[in-house]
Amino acid sequence: MRWTQAFIPTLRDAPADAEAISHKLLVRGGFIRQLAAGSYSILPLGVRVRNKVAGIIREEMNRIGGQEFLLPALHPAEIWKTSGRWDLMGDNLFRLQDRKQVDHALGMTHEEVFASIATELFSYRELPQIWYQIQTKFRDEPRPKSGLLRVREFTMKDSYTLDIDLPGIDSGFDRHRAAYFAIFRRCGLDPIDVEASSGAMGGSESVEFMVRSEAGEDWIVTCGNCGYRANVERAASAVEPVDDGAGADLERFPTPGLRTIKALAEAHPEVASPDRQIKTLVYILDGEPVLVLLRGDHELQEQKLMDVTGAIEARPAQPEEIRELLGADPGSLGAVGVRGPTVIADRALEGRKKLVTGANEDDWHYSGVDLGRDIEVGVWAELRAVGAGEPCSVCGRPLERWKGIEVGHIFKLGTKYSEAFGATVQDESGESRPIIMGSYGIGVERAMAAVVESSHDEGGIIWPVSVAPYEVVITVVRPDDGPTMEVAIGLYQELTAAGIEVLLDDRDERPGVKFADSELIGIPYRVTVGPRGVAEGVIELTTRRGMVKSEVPLGDLVGTVRAAVESRRLGTEPS
RNA sequence: CGGGACGUAGCGCAGCUUGGUAGCGCGCAGCGUUCGGGACGCUGAGGUCGUGGGUUCAAGUCCCACCGUCCCGACCA
């Protein structure tokens, strides 16, 4: 492609408020343009990258036996009602009506559609199956942000495994795990797989693929010693046991104006240090109030609360709701003697005595609280958010906490969808059994953005050869110089004939502009052709990563470039 | 949804406090000089000042409402 005929609108100015570097670089380099919040046009350069990523995904999915489908994005409400997710998905599901006022949804995922197709399976002999597609998803995100990292319309590779039994799903799950590592590594990413929560998908086991990045929105907890790794939504840590001594009698004491853990601790340091207090939170889970108890210096991880209770929706109670329930305002709440709402307590409180908590009367607290004696705990569970430096629950070494981008997620779903849609097969004994499903997703544009997040420098993007929009850019320093242009076109034709994707920068621009643009858009190799080199019979070859330059005799250029590109094209070698 | 900010030429912004002929840089078009690291000169095109209402002799500027976008907190690939 000649640059003068291509649509590559690079920019010097980018929106100043753009947070993620990938967003800034993809906009500046002419890969994407925003149409609306969370809605992006992908320009020719961007499409080329997207197609490369999709191609890698396709190869790896086919390698594990996947068969490609293409399902509608527009779904009748019917199927979402069948699975129960019409109500469950809430505002995240885009809904619309047709001219007959019939409800429809824009697909945010395709368990329903695939499950309905799976009703055409009748025998266990037809299993296992791996079905996938690369298709547009719609999600009405409450807050789209960070360019391509969080949008409302995006391309997802979603796949689904169909199995007759548990060993089957385990195998499908493991094959996906391996395929995902292969896919992300070939894209130049360095993913790690972490334990995660299944959220609204339902199902038993779920693993996320994370790429370390400050632009990420997930917190990941890892142990450098034993390899434990999990999303904070699920991560566990050990708690140093606390010796509370003999215990004490329950006693009310006045605490005028003391409304926070910190204030109470400062006013009564001897009895009410934060780790001796009980933090009482009131949550509304699917409309029902519950009391959540944590140690004063711990934070609640909401997802854990939802996972342990199976709640679909969780929100902190409003002050009015709290007053109606407990008769006091936040700051003086406690669970002592409370009847009615379920009390869910974090395990870090198990067996603790001589604690301090609110008395459900403004400006009063209890001391000497004994969890076993004074509070009727309905459920004990891991609820607290893990902080950096806390001991690993496996080996006791300090945990690390860092931010990551979730580029993929794999779930074991079980039979939720197959049962809802009647997707059953007969087993060896002729008995009808629901198909066991797994579902697996990769955000294609998000993966693209993650590549940019983890591979760029001051000059711009550094695409790995495997996903680069072009493999080589020929920068013609003086396109108006006859012999120079002749050599450039010759190289362009030879490289193209060798199957290499070449962009010929034949623009009548100053060299500096062309160098800067080639670096911004991140083409892995630059061949600089100018009168000086042409006269001497040498061509300058620049590797984008590290900006390493070398002089290559004109006659060797094609061979050299070809060897470099071809060895890295699959993405299995570092580029 | 809660909190904060912004909306003026394709892009990045000033102008608003104190109402009075809409500006700057980049980019774009033409001509010329330049040309191995973001050149320069001359000429020129390009704007419903987010939308609607209000105040005023007069609104980009003041007031109200709405819409949109971004950032910070609860969801997901």
Question: Can you tell me the ipTM of this complex?
Answer: 0.93
DSSP 3-state of A110: coil
Q: Is the pLDDT of residue A15 over 70?
A: no
* CA quadruple A376, A382, A384, A390: dihedral sign: positive
Gap from A35 CA to B56 C1', Å: 38
Condensed to tens digits (0 to 9), the pLDDT of residues A293-309 reads: 999 888 888 888 888 88
DSSP 3-state of A184: helix
Report residues 98-127 of A contacting strand B, contact meaning Cβ closer than 7 Å.
109
Residue ranges of E strands in A286-338: 288-295, 314-316
Confidence at A202, pLDDT banded by 50, 70, 90: low
| pLDDT, average across residues A455-484 | 97
Confidence at A440, pLDDT banded by 50, 70, 90: very high
Residue A365 backbone phi and psi in degrees, to 5: -130, 165
> Which residues does A139 contact at the CB level (< 8 Å), separation at least 6?
A92, A93, A94, A108, A152, A154
CA distance A257 to A268: 13
Condensed to tens digits (0 to 9), the pLDDT of residues A324-343 reads: 888 888 888 899 988 888 89
| Exposed/middle/buried for residue A276 (C-beta within 10 Å: 0-12, 13-18, 19+) | buried
Condensed to tens digits (0 to 9), the pLDDT of residues A65-102 reads: 999 999 999 999 999 999 999 988 888 999 999 999 99
B chain positions with any atom within 7 Å of a protein CB: 1-2, 11-13, 25-27, 34-39, 68-77
A519 CA: nearest nucleotide by C1': B37
Strand B lies under 7 A from the Cβ of residue A529:
yes
Whether the CB-CB separation of A97 and A435 falls below 8 Å is answered with: no
Pair of tokens at residue A345: 């307590």
Whether the CB-CB separation of A431 and A403 falls below 8 Å is answered with: no
Condensed to tens digits (0 to 9), the pLDDT of residues A502-538 reads: 999 999 999 999 999 999 999 999 999 999 999 999 9
Whether the CB-CB separation of A177 and A146 falls below 8 Å is answered with: no
Strand B lies under 7 A from the Cβ of residue A302:
yes
